[in-house]
Amino acid sequence: MFKSFDDLEREIDETFEELMSSRPMWDSSTGRLEPLTQVIESLDKIVVTMDLPLVRKEDIHLTIEEKYLNLEAPLARCVKYERWGAHSDCEFSSFYKTVNLPTRVNPDEAKAKFLNGVLSVELHKTVKGKKINVE
Amino acid sequence: MSEEMRIIETKPLDSVKHCLVGMPDTGLTGMIAVSQIVESMKLPEIGHIESDLLPPVMVIHDGEPKVPIRFFGDSNLTVLTSETPIGTRAIAPLSRSLTAWAVKKKVEMLVSVSGIAVQNRMEIKIPQVFGVATNEKGKNRLKEAEIQVLEEGFMVGPHAMIVRESLSKGLTNLVILAQSHSGYPDPGAAASAINAVNKLLNLEVDVKKLLEDAEGIRVKTRELMQRTTKSLEGMAKTQEQELPAMYG
């Protein structure tokens, strides 16, 4: 059986996500941390939430494309890890994350709110399910 | 005692009045709560758990290698916590060993602390706490501490297996469940859980510092939360958020 292009694209995205999830959630060379993220998909919507402690609402830089959500947010204060592993002191100053969305969305209809340090972004799917009559 | 799990007491105790358990689970609520209690009460390390069923992990603190699952405390209050998630295969043997140890030590009350995921957690300022007890004595203690009994629902994870083993051994086991984020570390939920434990065990652990440090704790426990979430995926953890089939 042939897979549709969308199915293949989704499988590639999932494999990519799996590979990405096995790497560290930080990069000391850029001082960036990766936030914990959840993606919940329903019939016509995708809701992406991110835990963003030490971030102020006005500092959140969020961009949305059809298939991606990109977040960059500086921390209100740097986070230091002292005496950790083989690293000397590590210092982090921002969160950064690109989320591959499971399906295409309309960036113009996106809504975001930030409450108690958790960002929630509601995205509307471009291709919605077709309503059919039940006989 | 299960041969698969060995409880090693580096400072042996003849008896233990209360035992508190907080493992990495929903929102890391139990682990954060009991770690705060250990730190606040300056409870000394008194033992650990060894098993081939546990991940091949050692942690290093102040240059000293440590087993991730350790006991702290004294004969009045012993606390068990872990710095690594407990895999599915290890949960039942761990629960069997822990409850057998609790019976041997004549533990009056074994209290597990955990989180219960709620979808609208980001809108809740002070998480509510619910309790589950294995017998009437435990239910009365919940009532005296003004902790609402969880009337319907599912429990999945280490605290669920500890309940099962406590029931079979006639042990008084209470589970304290604070409303929590499912996949994000939740010091706010841990603070609510500590307040409930304070009432239950007549402790006076202050949650002010925990709440002040909450954002830093959330940053520094992201990776443990991610690893815990993956570990919980293998336990049908999402069943806790299912509506129960009301046929019972």
Higher-pLDDT residue of B33 and A131 is B33
3-state SS, residue B193: helix
CA dihedral B189, B195, B196, B200 (to 10 degrees): 150
Contact B123 A115 (CB under 8 A): yes
Q: Please list every residue in chain A whose beta carbon sits closer than 8 Å to the beta carbon of residue B223.
A: 24-25
- Chain A residues with beta carbon closer than 8 angstroms to that of B218: 51, 53-54, 117
* Maximum distance among all Cα pairs of chain B, rounded to whole angstroms: 55
Asked, for residue A50, whether it belongs to a domain, the answer is: yes
State how far the alpha carbon of B200 is from the alpha carbons of A76, B60, B93, B105, B135, in Å. 37, 33, 27, 20, 15
Contacts (Cβ under 8 Å, ≥6 apart) of A15: none
Q: What is the pLDDT of residue A28?
A: 82
Query: Confidence class of residue B4 from pLDDT cuts 50, 70 and 90?
Result: confident
pLDDT, chain B, mean: 93
pLDDT score recorded for residue B48? 97
- The ipTM value here is 0.86
Binary contact (B183, A116; C-beta < 8 A):
no
Q: What is d(CA A88, CA B79) in angstroms, rounded to the nearest whole number?
A: 32
- From residue A44, alpha-carbon distances to A48, A102, A129, A131, B25 in Å are 14, 12, 7, 12, 31
Question: Minimum mean pLDDT among A3-17, B77-91, B174-188: which range?
Answer: A3-17
Of A21, A81, A117, the CB nearest to B215: A117
Tally of structural domains, chain A: 1
CB pairs under 8 A, 24+ apart, for B237-242?
B237/B26, B237/B156, B237/B157, B239/B154, B239/B156, B240/B26, B240/B116, B240/B117, B240/B153, B240/B154, B240/B155, B240/B156, B241/B117, B241/B119, B241/B182, B242/B154
pLDDT of residue B245: 64
Instruction: Calculate mean pLDDT across residues B74-99.
Output: 95
Average pLDDT in the B197-205 region?
97
Q: Is the model's pLDDT at B209 over the cut of 90?
A: yes
The pLDDT value recorded for residue A6 is 65
State whether CATH 3.40.50.10900 applies to domain B6-235. yes
pLDDT digits (tens, 9 = 90+) for A59-114: 999 999 999 999 999 999 988 877 666 666 778 999 999 999 999 999 999 999 99
pLDDT of residue A29: 85
pLDDT of residue B218: 96
Q: How high does pLDDT run on average in chain A?
A: 86
Longest CA–CA span in chain A (Å) reads 68
Residues from chain B contacting residue A38 (CB–CB below 8 Å): 182-183
Q: Is the pLDDT of residue A20 over 60?
A: no
B interface with A, Cβ–Cβ below 8 Å: 121-123, 125, 181-185, 188, 214-216, 218-220, 222-223, 225-226, 230
Contact call for A35 and B222, based on CB within 8 A: yes
Query: B233: which 2 tokens?
Result: 């995926």
Q: Where are the domains of chain B?
A: 6-235
pLDDT band at B84 (very low <50, low <70, confident <90, very high): very high
Identity of the residue in A34, A38, A120 whose CB atom sits nearest the CB atom of B183: A38
Q: Would you say residue A133 lies in a domain? A: no
- Is there a domain that residue A72 lies in? yes
Range of the domain at A55: 5-124
- The CATH number assigned to the domain holding A43 equals 2.60.40.790
Res. B31 pLDDT band, cuts 50 70 90: very high
Distance CA B157, CA B52 (A): 19
